[in-house]
Amino acid sequence: MHINMNGPAKKIDTPRNRAPYRVYWNWELTHDCNYRCSYCETWRDDVPTPLYPGPDRWKQIWDRMYGLYGSCVVRFSGGEPSIYPGFIDIIAAVARNHSIDITTNLSFDEREFARKVEPGSIAVSASFHPEFNDIHDFLERVLFLHNSGFISTICYVAYPPQLDRLEYFKKTVEDKNIMFKFLPFTGKYGGREYPRDYTSEERELIYGAAVKAKDPKARELNTKWYEWNAGKRDSENGVKKGRVCLMGYMYAVIHPDGEVTRCCAGAAGRDSGVLGNIIHDGDFRLLGEPRECRAANCPCFKAMLAESDSWHSMWEALPHKKYKNKTDGNH
């Protein structure tokens, strides 16, 4: 599905004129990864090579987005974003104008990162994978980043064979005052389909860990993730077809080939609509207004539905140290 960008003419708001007053990007730099976690749905042996237009072109693109939409929040994700060529230099360039959030397994040199990147506008969500890392070594690296000014948290997957260590990892991380988040597992294990087939005991354990999170923000996020994924036993939560959503206007996903979709619904996000290609289209723009959703099923517990503001708190992000927006209290 390709959205006609010449549809009803509406002016572009620069920056966005309604809460939370900023544009969020989820930039999937590559779907490849140097790990092969048993529970991962992203990597495959045949993932296509991502487009790599080079650091200068990326800088040009992100400077243009700043010109159009002001200071945005750019989430680097994947696959593993740090295996993308020039990862640290690209972060350093994008962070000049935009706040950054990185979801990573920390496969980069944190000392080089701290030397090259200016702290203050960057958050790191470090995904801890016990099949590949020791919690103590991993936590030490996270603490180094955190204490260097890059707000860092740890995220864990509530994969059934890993549930017995959930409480231990949570306590180890929280004892160092690092936020511990976890995601219910989505996929097949032992002939069962998750999250639907979590047992009552597993649900109790996950929910208990969610509501007992030390940090109030982690408590909110873990509980909402639980309620959205593990808490539901049917697919009805996900249906939002026809409702007006700000995604595409205030949020978009950039895929490894540069294609941009409103959100991640369906294969390569195409169910919600394709907005264009941020690398190839010199006049690429987001939607000029919130629009009705055409996807049959909404996969997002943070969907930006126009009818409600209950999602606002889920999108709180680090303000840019230099460029403030309305919610940062500087207007």
Contact set with ligand SF4 (CB under 6 A): 33, 35-37, 40, 42-43, 78-80, 105, 127, 129, 240, 243, 245, 247, 262-263, 265, 272, 293, 295, 298, 300, 303
Cβ 59 to ligand SF4 shortest distance, Å: 26
Cα dist from 195 to 198, 200, 261, 265, whole Å: 6, 12, 26, 18
Closest to ligand SF4 by CB, 82 vs 121, is 82
Cβ 91 to ligand SF4 shortest distance, Å: 18
Cβ 293 to ligand SF4 shortest distance, Å: 3
> Can you read off the two tokens belonging to residue 204?
């109790």
Nearest residue to 23 (alpha-carbon basis) of 307, 326, 274, 308: 326
Cβ 302 to ligand SF4 shortest distance, Å: 8
> Can you read off the two tokens belonging to residue 124?
């790191």
Cβ 303 to ligand SF4 shortest distance, Å: 4
Closest to ligand SF4 by CB, 125 vs 325, is 125
> Can you read off the two tokens belonging to residue 260?
């941009």
User: Which helix H or strand E contains 146, and what residues bound it?
Assistant: helix 135-147
Closest to ligand SF4 by CB, 177 vs 310, is 310
Closest to ligand SF4 by CB, 93 vs 298, is 298
Return contacts of 64-69, CB within 8 angstroms, 24+ apart. 65/23, 65/25, 65/98, 66/97, 66/98, 68/12, 68/14, 68/285, 68/286, 69/14, 69/15, 69/16, 69/22, 69/23, 69/286
CB 154 within 8 A of CB 173: yes
Helix (H, G, I), strand (E, B) or coil at 97: coil
Cβ 169 to ligand SF4 shortest distance, Å: 16
Closest to ligand SF4 by CB, 248 vs 319, is 248
Nearest residue to 215 (alpha-carbon basis) of 182, 169, 179: 179
Closest to ligand SF4 by CB, 212 vs 241, is 241
How many angstroms separate the CA atoms of 45 and 32, rounded?
8
